[in-house]
Structure 1
């Protein structure tokens, strides 16, 4: 039986691409560009799936999902949107969407999601979010952040344990706060514990509490973070710094849902959601026996990886504006920033990630004498690279090109095309290695159209599947 898809999209180019892809997969596709026409079609026909944009010519597609449910309560919905914020992802989740795709999206991923959605019945989410307004802590519309948002929305209606990984300063605690604030435990407490900041001999007491007289200095009973976070979320930051003996007790608590205070005999039931985080690679620590493998699997039920700022520089402008507003709230002068200044900041690698950027924006806001921050101020305040490092970076490509020219007697008038042919294939292969064979991300990395990349793959006999990491 042919499965029928309703596509609600007012961008003709995007609609054409989706329709062609779904027709090739054997779907029957009906299209419209407005909420009014959508409602008319749903009132007179039955569809197996609806694909819908959010911002349509006559309103917001998500605001009117309740009308869709009146005519098709069990029909899966896939949401497409160019409004790529965490708020949009949450709204899509609240509308019980089967999946959410930020634009631009991977057409192959979208096609797979359509197959999945039409091959199984929709599961209704039992709990509705209340109408309270929550200030969302994560900022960014880059492709990398869209993946983070989509993973967050998938854990809001359950209590699965989450492991957040990423470099220092990327905002791992903000992910934990978002999961708590937007999830089913938002009315409960949120507590954070930094494993690296607590002395080893006090960590178990901090987590599980202690009884009076349990050790020297324990003059009274103390309630640990697990009991304090009962009914809420406990964020275990820098989990890779947890000592082995504490790892054993944490594993037991996660397995049984019960803890015992240090020096105590009574087991206490606790209802706590765990979100853990680390900036370390736990795999070699497991191999070396420094981190328990069974604890890793208990924590890594849902992995969320936060990208470093150097991999999401499309978000720089939004982050800078946010931090300028934050600086203003803390008593600094009102400032705006030139596009050229933002561009200049994009050339910095930001090893300290978002935390470094925030501190830099506050420094700019303090030092700026004019309301508008320009490129000159940015250049004055940016840390300067060591001359040797800069020279190494600047000369790397030049050295490779000179080596090639020395080895190849290029005919006058053909140097450009010969050099391009020599460097094009390794450049594309490098992009595929960096993106683990993902053609959409590789095209973004290179700054070319995906169709252009596909054409080049065919011309140069490059097999992208070779670069896919196998698990």
Structure 2
């Protein structure tokens, strides 16, 4: 069996060749599209492994020439252009698999063996090319996993469960699956299960007949019917009341819904995507979420990573939001390199949503078109000062802000941080003990002499904290 490898980076080509040869393949390597086409005209291969960016063109845009020569040839696409757009373009070609760089070489070798064994490729008959509309941004490894999962569900109606913390962009995943999938011509209907009163949620989802309950003065079409031919997005599914969970399970099992107060069974024609920021397994154990419903929804799980696990994306996200802010009428701004680096060090507990809101405020309030680290620091300090008094602080966030503001020299960070932490800590304990050093040392759990030494080094006078009558 032989594989044609199209890769202009010789170091990568050597590694791939070694892995494929270990799997028993003979490998023919070339570095350009023109050479690829010449080889395909002369020989038959069991699989094609190709990069996207090649010296004489785009490997994806020229796949149609490969299909013309060998319609059933399995194709594996590699790319350093790690965007959702690239993943979708690769999927549009009918490629067997898409690997963003860097990739696991053993996984690539296994995939090529599967592709050669399957012996099938080509586009799916009757399919049209997918349109644009790419709401997700990110090139980190974590987001590449998300992109690959999205491309796997575009041509089917499997139920998707999107998991992740608040603000990570779960609805954007649902929109991407809808807008890029075969139901994109149908409606996209989003329902926030946590925002609908428990007594109204069944009516909202399934509709009701006139007179079904007090106030039902006319027939109401529910979200399932409104989404016919398209996608129904059930957000915050973990907060759905138990009675509504039971009816939802029945609808998913039977493929039909019945309006509240009605007798007619209405056949469903809708793709279901659900999302939650909760860990549903503890909810199941506590009896707040049906286990059978969980397995109905969790057919294809997609985990949205928190922003702290994709810090490489913060720069590109920030620039993306600045562009959107300019498109919406805010001043057009640019980020300097030090500003982008400072943003990447922030904790962003509210994830992408918090970053977006911060960038929009920055675009509005910045005094210069080029936003530098000082502009970001000043806004961070202003917002920290505006936090409600008594709000519980986050030490990790405080450390990040202190590092960003103070920027201690390399080799002095620990000593400077320890002093910055100890000074307010000792002051608060001395204040609580009325300046009594013995009691303060006991409360802190350190030796009294150690406390005295540190107070002297920190220029803290315990007499300032002695209570006066």
Q: Which residue in 2 is equivalent to 1:459?
A: none
8 A Cα contact 1:94 1:128, kept in partner: no
Deviation at 1:368, TM superposition (A): 0.6
> Highest Rg: 1 or 2?
2
Name the SS for the 2:175 alignment partner: helix
Q: Which residue in 1 is equivalent to 2:159?
A: 161
Name the SS for the 1:265 alignment partner: coil
8 A Cα contact 2:75 2:121, kept in partner: no
Deviation at 1:25, TM superposition (A): 2.1
Q: Structure 2: how far apart are the matches of 1:153 and 1:205? A: 34
- What does 1:47-62 correspond to in 2, within 5 Å? 47-62=45-60
Name the SS for the 1:280 alignment partner: coil
Q: Which residue in 2 is equivalent to 1:246?
A: 244
Q: Which residue in 2 is equivalent to 1:301?
A: 299
- CA 1:123–1:254: 2 relative to 1, 3 Å: farther
- CA 1:388–1:191: 2 relative to 1, 3 Å: closer
- CA 1:100–1:380: 2 relative to 1, 3 Å: same
Cα deviation code 1:295-333 (max 9, x no counterpart): 111111111000011111111111111111111122111
Q: Which residue in 1 is equivalent to 2:311?
A: 313
Name the SS for the 2:176 alignment partner: helix
- CA 1:81–1:388: 2 relative to 1, 3 Å: closer
Q: Which residue in 1 is equivalent to 2:286?
A: 288
Matched, 1:33 2:14: no
Name the SS for the 1:359 alignment partner: helix
| From 142, 145, 148, the counterpart of 1:144 | 142
Q: Structure 1: how far apart are the matches of 2:215 and 2:286? A: 35
Deviation at 1:122, TM superposition (A): 1.6
8 A Cα contact 2:236 2:276, kept in partner: yes
Q: Which residue in 2 is equivalent to 1:372?
A: 370
Deviation at 1:132, TM superposition (A): 6.9
Q: Structure 2: how far apart are the matches of 1:357 and 1:388? A: 19
Tell me the C-alpha RMSD between the 2 structures: 2.1
8 A Cα contact 1:338 1:374, kept in partner: yes
Unaligned runs of 5+ in 2: 385-391, 404-412, 419-469
Q: Which residue in 1 is equivalent to 2:189?
A: 191
- CA 1:77–1:168: 2 relative to 1, 3 Å: same
Deviation at 1:21, TM superposition (A): 1.5
Cα deviation code 1:143-166 (max 9, x no counterpart): 111100100000011000000000
Deviation at 1:388, TM superposition (A): 5.4
8 A Cα contact 1:259 1:267, kept in partner: yes
Q: Which residue in 1 is equivalent to 2:326?
A: 328
Deviation at 1:389, TM superposition (A): 5.2
Q: Structure 1: how far apart are the matches of 2:329 and 2:46? A: 55
Task: Out of 359-368 and 101-110, give the one that drifted further.
Answer: 101-110
Q: Structure 2: how far apart are the matches of 1:291 and 1:192? A: 21
| From 209, 226, 243, the counterpart of 1:228 | 226
Q: Which residue in 1 is equivalent to 2:215?
A: 217
8 A Cα contact 1:127 1:157, kept in partner: no
Deviation at 1:136, TM superposition (A): 0.8
Name the SS for the 1:291 alignment partner: coil
Q: Which residue in 2 is equivalent to 1:69?
A: 67
Cα deviation code 1:208-253 (max 9, x no counterpart): 0001111111111100000010011000000000111111111111
| From 171, 176, 184, the counterpart of 2:174 | 176
8 A Cα contact 1:350 1:357, kept in partner: yes
Q: TM-score, normalization: structure 1?
A: 0.81
Unaligned runs of 5+ in 1: 403-471
